Chain A
Amino acid sequence: QVQLQESGPGLVKPSETLSLTCTVSGGSISIFYWSWIRQPPGKGPEWIGYIYDSGTTNYNPSLKSRVTISVDTSKNQFSLKLTSVTAADTAVYYCARDRELTYWGQGTLVTVSS
C-alpha cells in the first residue's frame, strides 16, 4: 500500500526558505510523477509542481522563480523548497503521486510569521 508522509518546520519566518520532505513507502520513487500541492486556510487547492523520471520538473508559473522540487532515490523521498516566503504562502502543504494525484499525504500546515 502506497503511503506518503510530509515533514518539515511548521513555522517559517518571512523572507526565509520553506523546506519540506515527502517520504514514500510501499513503492519505488524512481517512477511515477511526484507532486506538491498547497491549500491556504479556507481556500481551494493550488498545484505547485511535480518531478518525474528522477529529475524532470514542471512548476506552476506563478511560483516558478521561487520553487525547487528534487528527489532522493536512496531515501525514497522528494522535497520542496520555496524561497522568499510571505504570509501568502501560509497553507497546508500536501505531497501526492501521479499527475492525477492518486495518493496523498495527510498534509502539513506551514505558517509564515515572524
Chain B
Amino acid sequence: EIVLTQSPGTLSLSPGERATLSCRASQSIAGSNLAWYQQKPGQAPRLLIYAASIRATAIDIPDRFSGSGSGTDFTLTISRLEPEDFAVYYCQQYGSSPLYTFGQGTKVEIK
C-alpha cells in the first residue's frame, strides 16, 4: 500500500498570496499517476490536477492551479489565492493497483 503524507496540515495565508502544498509518497508512484482535489464543506471533491501536472481543463480549472513532481514528491501550487480557494486539498495516487489511496489533506485557511 502506498501511503501519501501531505504537508503542512494547515496553511494560513492571505488572498493574493502563493500557496505551496506538498504530497510525499511512501514509494514511487507509477506513471506519475497522482491527482489533486479541492473540497469545500458540504461539497464533493473537485479534480484540479491529474497525472501530476495536467490541469483538468475539461472542467474549467483556472490556470492559477499548477502541479509538479514525480516519483515520491509532488507539489500543488496556487499562484495567487482567490477567496474561493480557501478549502481542503487532497492528493490521490491511482498508479498502484489494487489500492488507490488519498492523503490526509491540507487545509488552506484565511490568515
Interface of A is mostly: loop
Q: Which residues of B contact A106 (CB under 8 A)?
A: 43-44
Closest to A58 in B: B98
CB pair A101–B37 under 8 Å, yes or no, is yes
B107 to chain A, nearest CB (A): 11
Which of A44, A58, A94 contacts B44 (CB under 8 A)? A94
Which of B46, B58, B98 contacts A104 (CB under 8 A)? B46
Q: Which residues of B contact A103 (CB under 8 A)?
A: 59
CB pair B102–A60 under 8 Å, yes or no, is no
CB pair B99–A104 under 8 Å, yes or no, is no
Question: When A99-B94, A103-B59, A104-B44 are in contact, do A47 and B51 touch as well, CB less than 8 Å?
Answer: no
Per-residue CB contact flags for chain B residues 22-37 toward chain A (1 = under 8 Å, else 0) read 0000000000010101
Which of A44, A96, A102 contacts B102 (CB under 8 A)? A44
Q: Which residues of A contact B104 (CB under 8 A)?
A: 44
* Contact residues of A between 39 and 97, Cβ < 8 Å to B: 44-47, 58-61, 94, 96
Listed by A's residue number, 19 A-B pairs whose Cβ atoms lie within 8 Å are: A44-B105, A45-B102, A46-B102, A58-B97, A60-B98, A60-B99, A60-B100, A61-B98, A94-B44, A99-B33, A99-B94, A99-B100, A100-B33, A100-B50, A101-B37, A101-B45, A101-B92, A102-B59, A104-B44
Residues of A within 8 A of B (CB): 44-47, 58-61, 94, 96, 99-107
Residues of B within 8 A of A (CB): 1, 33, 35, 37, 43-47, 50-51, 56, 58-59, 90, 92, 94, 97-105
